[in-house]
Amino acid sequence: MDLVIRNATLTDGSQHVDIAVKAGRIAAIGPALPVRGAQEIDAGGDLVTPPFVDAHFHMDATLSYGLPRVNASGTLLEGIALWGELKPHLTQQALIDRALQYCDWAVARGLLAIRSHVDICDDRLLAVEALLHVKKQVAPYLDVQLVAFPQDGLLRSATALANLKRAIAMGVDVVGGIPHFERTMADGAESVKILCEFAAEKGLRVDMHCDESDDPMSRHIETLAYHAQRLGMQGRVAGSHLTSMHSMDNYYVSKLLPLIRESGVAAIANPLINITLQGHHDTYPKRRGMTRVPEMLAAGIDVAFGHDCVMDPWYSLGSADMLEVAHMGLHVAQMTGQDAMRECFRAVTETPARILGLEGYGLEIGCHADFVVLDAADPIEAIRLRAARRFVIRRGKVVSRAASVRAQLDLPGRAAEVDFRLGR
């Protein structure tokens, strides 16, 4: 075997598991495997999981914090205006450099697949070219899936539809949209129809920024679900943000959720961003703005958590840490029960992998040998500690390693060291 990981704990709670890797795929998995590896890693009972997956990100804007200025109001609309100020000054090389730096951070955090939206409203399509280049360059260690995103509105911007089609022809994978930003509700609905029909014709997936608003009447998710169902696109369509659902009438939501379930549309919440960008027009009580995560899960709808932004016109913090995203999602949605916390871990691993349609993702024989060894005993402890990624493994090769977090104490009569883990 090329690699054997010994004494792993898996997310389902099974312990003392060995994982053997040959030619980049999982060849065997079970207790005390009688095989030798060219390389062996002792997990020491720590959690070994398939890598983190980010279902929603903007790699063209990332790490541009402060260019040309920072977002003073902290609102979505000032962020969009600020991005508009930055766009004419973007160079392809600067876009590539920032994206590659972010990909380094992602790998170090065990984040090995990212769906990134790319703004197609700049007629030069500089960002599209830059991110297609990055996608190819990082492919050996990180899967990037690109979404053609009409930031300024598909119908509101004169060249957006033509640019979107050009971007798809250049190799962008997924059709995006932003119906709540069109001039009218009717235009928003029309944009959803145009985009879904285009995607269906091309056999592409759809992922729209949908209802990123506190307006309870923003109901484009209904239209998205309708067209996904009508066009037979079940399992290939996602609605990102869906924050208006936070403010919707409960009766309407009781009708809406079964329609989303029937349409096979997945939901992608972005907890760090939703909690900071929404609710700005409120005094008190101040809305949280995140969509109805536990209710959608209970209705059988796939829900993933995305990072959305790191150090860009919309968000000044972040470091590609999907455990931080899960941590925030868990708090904002009050998902503090044992099962609910495990669901938050799935929302940054297997659920987004399903939404992206990643081939060979998982811990089964034949899957890609992509793993993270976390400094934690289980998914809940991993979220609590935003655990160190002891080893990040891609196709059977270690691509990043980090020391466990320890503090040396100097206290009379107390332990010499703490690692913040229970029962050790």
Residues 306-335 that bind Zn ion (CB under 5 A): 308
Measured from the CB atom, is 308 or 321 closer to Zn ion?
Answer: 308
Question: In the annotation, is 364 catalytic?
Answer: no
Between CA 218 and CA 210 the distance in angstroms is 9
Between CA 105 and CA 97 the distance in angstroms is 13
Measured from the CB atom, is 288 or 421 closer to Zn ion?
Answer: 288
Minimum CB separation of residue 308 from Zn ion in Å reads 5
Between CA 248 and CA 310 the distance in angstroms is 29
Measured from the CB atom, is 49 or 151 closer to Zn ion?
Answer: 151
Minimum CB separation of residue 286 from Zn ion in Å reads 22
Between CA 131 and CA 87 the distance in angstroms is 15
Q: Half-sphere exposure of 12 toward its Cβ, with a 13 Å CA cutoff?
A: 6
Identify the three-state secondary structure at position 21.
strand
Measured from the CB atom, is 149 or 361 closer to Zn ion?
Answer: 149
Residue closest to Zn ion, measured at CB: 308
Minimum CB separation of residue 33 from Zn ion in Å reads 43
Identify the three-state secondary structure at position 80.
helix
- Among 212, 222, 324, 381, which one carries the catalytic annotation? 212
Minimum CB separation of residue 343 from Zn ion in Å reads 22
Minimum CB separation of residue 79 from Zn ion in Å reads 10
Between CA 350 and CA 192 the distance in angstroms is 27
Instruction: State how beta strands 205-210 and 174-175 pair.
Output: parallel
Measured from the CB atom, is 314 or 371 closer to Zn ion?
Answer: 314
Between CA 416 and CA 276 the distance in angstroms is 39
Measured from the CB atom, is 231 or 356 closer to Zn ion?
Answer: 356
DSSP string covering 32-68, please?
A: T-S---SEEEE-TT-BEEPPEEEEEEETTTTT-TTSS
CA distances from 174 to 8, 59, 82 (A): 36, 15, 25
170-180 in b/e form (b: 16+ CB < 10 A) is eebbbbbbbbb
Between CA 330 and CA 335 the distance in angstroms is 5
Measured from the CB atom, is 308 or 378 closer to Zn ion?
Answer: 308
Instruction: State how beta strands 111-119 and 52-58 pair.
Output: parallel
Instruction: State how beta strands 407-408 and 52-58 pair.
Output: unpaired
Minimum CB separation of residue 116 from Zn ion in Å reads 9
Binding mask 280-309 for Zn ion (x = CB under 5 A): ----------------------------x-
Minimum CB separation of residue 102 from Zn ion in Å reads 15
**Sign of torsion, CA 344 390 401 50?**
negative
Q: Which residues are catalytic?
A: 212
Which residues of the shown chain bind Zn ion in the complex (CB under 5 A)? 308
